[in-house]
Structure 1
Amino acid sequence: MLVLQINSVCGYGSTGSIAVDLASVLNKEGHSCHIAYGQSSTTYSPSYKIGGRMENHLHNLCSRLFGNQGYYTHNGTLRLLGYIRKIAPDVIHLHNLHGNYLHIGLLFELLSELEVPVVWTLHDCWAFTGKCTHYTTVGCTKWKTGCHQCPLYRAYPPSLFFDRSQQLYEDKKRWFTSLPKMTIVAVSDWLSKEVSMSFLNKYPQEQIYNWIDNTIYYPHPSNRWLHAVIPTDKFVVLSVSGAWTAGSSRYEDAVQLAGMLPDDMQLVLVGNRTAGTHFPPGVIHIPYVNSGEQLAQLYSMADVFVHFSTEDTFGKVIAESMACGTPVVVYNSTACPELLAPGCGYVVQPRRVEDLFLSIQKIRESGKSQFTIPCIENVRSRFGYHTNTHQYLDLYQQVAML
């Protein structure tokens, strides 16, 4: 069986790592897997780069100027279609199609013609909205009937001047409901329920959690490089984000929490810091960490992990932290609380930073060791690498036989 995966990135970030994990499992089981991707670079082979650097930059520019993301990279997409016809996959697995690297209409025209079984894993909500990847914070439900007057048209994927949400919604609905054979995979129960209220509910749906590699994410012993950065005599509160941006709710809540922590507690924030973003004195900032092993060391040395997000379809950093035996505190929003099990930490109402602090204090009083075993067992039983990746293999074989 030959599977082709299509994603914005390959081997980088959350979805890129997922794609390579699935490819590795397929190869070990005697199958073949190609990955077509749009941004950055990869060491995985066989892979196919969609579009050139200049073409993708132009896509990004036109998307921002005119608001039509997914209508460019025309030549790159035509070459991709030729590649698909050449390798003749038995199953095509879609991941993130947003990211300024595909002409989505052309892709779905071909998928409709070929009638190759399609599996589409939704890692966010973009596939069934006119524009946004998330809508919970602004409380928008227009996607259930038809997007227009988008309150997030300037948010990712950004449009500087025009709100094209109505056109985008109508085009996406037409494209994405045109396939004769497609199965939707939601990465959480929360997302599954959202999909069931969208135009994608015409397709069969599976719910498969993302997974954590326990050969990487497990309680690591104390590490010398961390000792040079983080005090060993303090109670460490850790949070990891792809980016910290001034004005965002994550940043604001982190700053507020930093002001509440006593001198014997240390807040450590990991992730890129965008231009103009500054942290209060006393906060330790570590730039984005792509190494799983280094992340695992950070999770392991922390006494508690705090997740400031109010919008997550899975929240992999939450599960990674628990796999390393570190309890978590999350907001009661989207899929975040779904990942916890009894004894793994606390759930508080969104943006209630005072309650975050109280939960941190409870963990400190109980001691991290009281949470370690429940955290590890929760991850191994629900987010196991072998079990969850093989659910996809079973799904591939099932749809290939239809």
Structure 2
Amino acid sequence: MALRKKNIVQINVESNFGSTGKICVNISDYLESHENEPHIAHGPIHRDTSNSTYQIGTKLDYYLHILNTRIFDKHGLGSKKATKDFLNKLKVLKPDLIHLHNIHGYYINYELLFEFIKETNIPVVWTLHDCWSFTGHCTHFEYIDCEKYKTACTKCPLTYTYPKSWLVDRSSKNFAQKKASFTGVKNLTLVPVSEWLGTKVEQSFLRHYPIHTITNGIDVSTFEPKNTSAYKVERGWNNFKIILGVASVWDKTKGWEDFIKIAPHLKDDEKIILVGLSKQQIEVLPENIIGIERTDSKEELIQLYSLADVFMNLTYADTYPTTNLEAFSCGTPVITYKTGGSVEEITDYNGAIIEQGNYLEAYKVFNKMGATFKKEHSQTIRNNAIKKFDKSFQLKKYDELYQSLLN
């Protein structure tokens, strides 16, 4: 039986935008449908003006927080007034439970937030979508084989990455401040979104908390195979074998350079389609790579997942990519680098795992698969996605977790 009339506040950098923002909305809709009182507090950039949402800070607060990060490497330590205003709002709401997601993203002060949590002893669920919570700077460290997070971060080799610092390496102090803030909470449960991330948490200063892995889910009734014949003809792609890549931001860690390196090896009847590129990136693409800017159109994404012969995820840093799940749900196999949680759902019948950086091997595997692999396995891939990845399973697990904490 679901919770009744419980006031649950989620906090995330985004609401109804990006993968984590959509997860927040899915949870909120589920809670509301079960007669609870859900709220979402989010940052100021991607505004969500729907009911029961609260914007933390203004765009000016956001840009000042960015400046504080770029110059002083003090990410998560700006936005003091915005955070105090939000905490006053929380005092009025009196939530039964707080559900944290990404508290990085230039919008909230984590020290003030955790002071409030420790003072009030409100039960907290913290879904970890990356590694930022237990490092001195970065969100991902796997692709440089860094293990400083296990003891103490110092002399960070990734200050040039998000959350980028131009001048200062404050990783040692950041690590100590995070450890002081994030430890000592009486009623906190951590929810890594992959088994891989769970193993990293168990080796960090957060290891003393209960860890309850809940993987991401998607709407399998929306992401389903489509007949794309007309769509391909309209765009002149009907005679091509298609490799698809999708990312919200394309850079070296997402395999941008590796796709460019594959291009000279493509046959005349093969093309790569990359979704989520900037206009500047599209302008420099070789002729056999088709670039598409970021789209919020699910319909277009579904068409692209459905028409692709393979979804290729050449990521060097990923926790548990929902893009893989979306491709599976549309019946499309996935080739991925051996990276983080990206490999956790790959089997012999739905794709292949390639060592990081071996882009030519990824391309060779695509050629070995050919069009017949998808035709033979598409329905099995789709059926497995329905059984394992539907968001309803994820939502029920969160509901059960909430109940266990509140009862």
TM-score range, shorter chain: over 0.9
- Report the CA distance shift for 1:250/1:15 in structure 2 as closer, same or farther (over 3 A): same
Tell me by how many angstroms 1:274 deviates: 6.6
Pairing of 1:365-384 with structure 2 (within 5 A)? 366-384=372-390
TM-score computed with the length of structure 1 as normaliser: 0.96
1:270 aligns with 2:278: no
Tell me by how many angstroms 1:355 deviates: 0.9
How far apart, CA to CA, are the structure 2 residues paired with 1:223 and 1:177?
A: 55
Tell me by how many angstroms 1:249 deviates: 6.0
- Report the CA distance shift for 1:268/1:33 in structure 2 as closer, same or farther (over 3 A): same
- Report the CA distance shift for 1:226/1:366 in structure 2 as closer, same or farther (over 3 A): closer
How far apart, CA to CA, are the structure 2 residues paired with 1:287 and 1:69?
A: 28
Alignment identity in percent?
34
Listed as ranges, the gaps of 5+ residues in structure 2 are 1-5
1:261 aligns with 2:269: no
Aligned match of 1:179: 185
Aligned match of 1:212: 218
1:125 aligns with 2:122: no
1:308-358 CA distance string (max 9 Å, x none): 102111011011001000111011121111122330011111111111011
- Report the CA distance shift for 1:103/1:255 in structure 2 as closer, same or farther (over 3 A): same
Aligned match of 1:290: 296
Aligned match of 2:3: none
Aligned match of 2:34: 29
Question: What is the aligned counterpart of 2:315 among 306, 309, 320?
Answer: 309
How far apart, CA to CA, are the structure 1 residues paired with 2:268 and 2:398?
A: 47
1:340 aligns with 2:342: no
Pairing of 1:11-160 with structure 2 (within 5 A)? 11-38=16-43, 39-160=45-166
- Report the CA distance shift for 1:286/1:229 in structure 2 as closer, same or farther (over 3 A): farther
How far apart, CA to CA, are the structure 1 residues paired with 2:321 and 2:392?
A: 19
- Report the CA distance shift for 1:366/1:15 in structure 2 as closer, same or farther (over 3 A): same
Tell me by how many angstroms 1:285 deviates: 0.5
Pairing of 1:195-210 with structure 2 (within 5 A)? 195-210=201-216
- Report the CA distance shift for 1:230/1:18 in structure 2 as closer, same or farther (over 3 A): farther
How far apart, CA to CA, are the structure 2 residues paired with 1:66 and 1:20?
A: 34
- Cα pair 1:230 1:284 within 8 Å, conserved: no
Tell me by how many angstroms 1:225 deviates: 5.2
How many correspondences in the alignment? 400
Tell me by how many angstroms 1:400 deviates: 1.3
- Cα pair 1:11 1:43 within 8 Å, conserved: no
Aligned match of 1:6: 11
- Cα pair 1:223 1:297 within 8 Å, conserved: no
How far apart, CA to CA, are the structure 2 residues paired with 1:110 and 1:88?
A: 12
How far apart, CA to CA, are the structure 2 residues paired with 1:151 and 1:274?
A: 29
How far apart, CA to CA, are the structure 2 residues paired with 1:237 and 1:201?
A: 40
Tell me by how many angstroms 1:181 deviates: 0.4
TM-score computed with the length of structure 2 as normaliser: 0.95
Tell me by how many angstroms 1:221 deviates: 1.9
Q: For residue 309 of structure 1, give the secondary structure of its aligned residue in structure 2.
A: coil
How far apart, CA to CA, are the structure 1 residues paired with 2:387 and 2:291?
A: 33
User: Which amino acid is 1:208 matched to?
Assistant: I
How far apart, CA to CA, are the structure 1 residues paired with 2:230 and 2:371?
A: 27
- Cα pair 1:307 1:330 within 8 Å, conserved: yes
Tell me by how many angstroms 1:292 deviates: 2.1
Tell me by how many angstroms 1:132 deviates: 0.3
